[in-house]
Amino acid sequence: MKGKALLENIANISSTEFYTPLPKGYKPGRTKYLIVTGSVMSGIGKGMLTSSLCKLFANRGMNVEPMKLEAYLNVDAGTLNPFRHGEVFVLDDGTETDMDLGSYERFLDKNLSRENFITSGLIYKTIIEKERKGAYLGRDVQFIPHVTGEIKRFVRELAVKKKPDIIVIEIGGTVGDYENMFALEAMRELMYEEGSHNVCFLNATYIIEPPSIGEHKSKAAQLGIRRLLSLGIQPHIIVCRSHTPIPQSIREKISLNSNVPLDRVIGVEDIEKIYELPLALRKKGLDEKILEVLKLEKRFKANNKELIEWTKKNRVSKNAKTVTIALAGKYTKLKDAYISILKALEHCEGMLNTRIDIAWLDTTELEKKPNKLSTLKKYDGVIVPGGFGKRGIEGKIAVADYCRKKNIPYLGLCLGFQVAVIAFARSVCKLKGANSTEFEPKCKHPVIDLLPEQKEISGLGATMRLGGHDVELIPGTIAHKIHGKQSFIRRRFRHRYELNPNYIEILEKHGMVFSGKAPDKQVMQILELPNHAFYMACQYHPEFTSRPLKPDPLFFHFIKAARRRHAGKVSR
Helix (H) or strand (E) holding 20: none
Question: Which listed residue (414, 480, 495, 557) is catalytic?
Answer: 414
Which of 454, 471, 464, 445 lies closest to 523, judged by CA?
A: 471
For residue 464, the minimal CB distance to ligand GLN (Å) is 7
For residue 494, the minimal CB distance to ligand GLN (Å) is 5
Note whether 7 binds ligand GLN by CB under 6 A. Answer: no
Note whether 494 binds ligand GLN by CB under 6 A. Answer: yes
For residue 509, the minimal CB distance to ligand GLN (Å) is 24
Note whether 201 binds ligand GLN by CB under 6 A. Answer: no
Note whether 90 binds ligand GLN by CB under 6 A. Answer: no
414 is catalytic: yes
Angle of helix 46-59 relative to helix 99-108, nearest 10 degrees?
20
| Per-residue b or e along 514-543, where b marks 16 or more CB atoms closer than 10 Å to that residue's CB | bbbbbeeeebbbbbbbeebbbbbbbbbbbb
Per CB under 6 A, the list member of 415, 422, 529, 537 interacting with ligand GLN is: 415
Q: Which stretch binds ligand GLN (CB under 6 A): 180-188, 257-265, 310-318, 385-393?
A: 385-393
In this structure, the dihedral spanned by the alpha carbons of residues 543, 547, 551 and 553, taken in order and rounded to 10 degrees, is: -60
DSSP symbol at 244? S
DSSP 493-535: EEESEEE-GGGHHHHHHTT-EEEEE-TTS--EEEEE-TTSSSE
472 is catalytic: no
Measured at CB, which residue is nearest to ligand GLN?
A: 386
Contact characters 98-117, ligand GLN, x per CB under 6 A? --------------------
Give, in order, the Cα–Cα distances in Å from 19 to each of 31, 32, 138, 189.
20, 21, 14, 11
543 is catalytic: yes
Query: How many chain residues interact with ligand GLN (CB under 6 A)?
Result: 10
Which of 151, 471 has the CB closer to ligand GLN? 471
How far is the C-alpha of 413 from the C-alpha of 419, rounded, in Å? 10
Per CB under 6 A, the list member of 184, 414, 512, 513 interacting with ligand GLN is: 414
For residue 380, the minimal CB distance to ligand GLN (Å) is 23
Q: Which stretch binds ligand GLN (CB under 6 A): 8-16, 75-83, 401-409, 495-503?
A: 495-503
Note whether 496 binds ligand GLN by CB under 6 A. Answer: yes
Q: Tell me, what amino acid is at 409? A: P
How far is the C-alpha of 345 from the C-alpha of 548, rounded, in Å? 10
Note whether 388 binds ligand GLN by CB under 6 A. Answer: yes
Note whether 409 binds ligand GLN by CB under 6 A. Answer: no
Question: Which listed residue (146, 347, 480, 541) is catalytic?
Answer: 541
Give the gyration radius of the chain's Cα atoms: 26
For the segment 237-276, give every residue that binds ligand GLN (CB under 6 A): none
Which of 400, 414 has the CB closer to ligand GLN? 414
Q: Which stretch binds ligand GLN (CB under 6 A): 168-176, 290-298, 359-367, 382-390?
A: 382-390
Contact assessment for residue 117 and residue 105, using Cβ atoms and an 8 Å cutoff: no
Which of 199, 403 has the CB closer to ligand GLN? 403
Q: Please report the sign of the dihedral spanned by the C-alpha atoms of residue 552, residue 553, residue 555, residue 560.
A: positive
Note whether 341 binds ligand GLN by CB under 6 A. Answer: no
SS (H, E, C) 191-219: HHHHCCCCEEEEEEEECECCCCCCCCECH
Q: Is the peptide bond before 145 cis (omega within 30 degrees of 0)?
A: yes
Q: Give Cβ neighbours of residue 473 (< 8 Å, ≥ 6 apart).
A: 479, 480, 483, 485, 486, 487, 488, 489, 515, 516, 526
Which of 172, 412 has the CB closer to ligand GLN? 412
Per CB under 6 A, the list member of 107, 497, 534, 540 interacting with ligand GLN is: 497
For residue 286, the minimal CB distance to ligand GLN (Å) is 37
For residue 151, the minimal CB distance to ligand GLN (Å) is 31
Q: Give Cβ neighbours of residue 312 (< 8 Å, ≥ 6 apart).
A: none
How far is the C-alpha of 206 from the C-alpha of 210, rounded, in Å? 12
Contact characters 425-454, ligand GLN, x per CB under 6 A? -------------x----------------
Instruction: Report the interface residues with ligand GLN, using CB under 6 A.
Output: 386-388, 414-415, 438, 494-497
Active site residues: 414, 541, 543
